[in-house]
Amino acid sequence: MENLFIAATPSTPEVDFRFDQHTLSLKGESYPENATSFYGGVLERVRQYLAGCKGTNIRINVSLAYFNSSSTKLLFSMFDAFNQAALAGNEISLNWFHDEDDETLFEFGQEIHEDYPALRFTDVPVNTD
């Protein structure tokens, strides 16, 4: 499957999905005008990729400084797809990067950890000083 790279804009994150290396990264901020339009194709590619994974070790790096509520809904859809793939026998590690002083992002990461227990979740606080 061909890798997927979408450069960051002021309102959308960088998407760097290196399917050939089983490494998927989201970085930046996410408040697109139309979250469904932005994430729809990304989510479809992720589902196609995961459908072909059997016993695969997959690393996901998420470093979002901010995301709005419409992005949240689509991110949860993506995490659900990863969780289902983990339940199907893949080893999926989710590294959740956030500013160590950002309580909201920390709590969101904890919610992901609780809602998607099949993912090997790692909280990664980052010192931005």
| CATH code for the part of the protein at 18-126 | 3.30.750
Report the C-alpha gap between 7 and 13 in whole angstroms: 7
Q: Give pLDDT, residue 1.
A: 87
Could you state, in order of their start, the residue ranges of all structural domains in the chain? Answer: 18-126
* pTM, to two decimals: 0.94
Query: What is the reported pLDDT for 128?
Result: 74
- Exposed, middle or buried, 113 (CB in 10 Å: 0-12/13-18/19+)? middle
3-class SS at 22? Answer: coil
How far apart, in whole angstroms, are the C-alpha atoms of residue 88 and residue 80?
A: 12
Read out DSSP for 51-96?
Answer: HT-SS-EEEEEEEEEEE-HHHHHHHHHHHHHHHHHHHTT-EEEEEE
Chain segment 2-53, per-residue pLDDT in tens: 999 999 999 999 999 999 999 999 999 999 999 999 999 999 999 999 999 9
pLDDT at 81: 97
Chain Cα centroid distance, residue 91:
15
- Region 56-73: mean pLDDT is 96
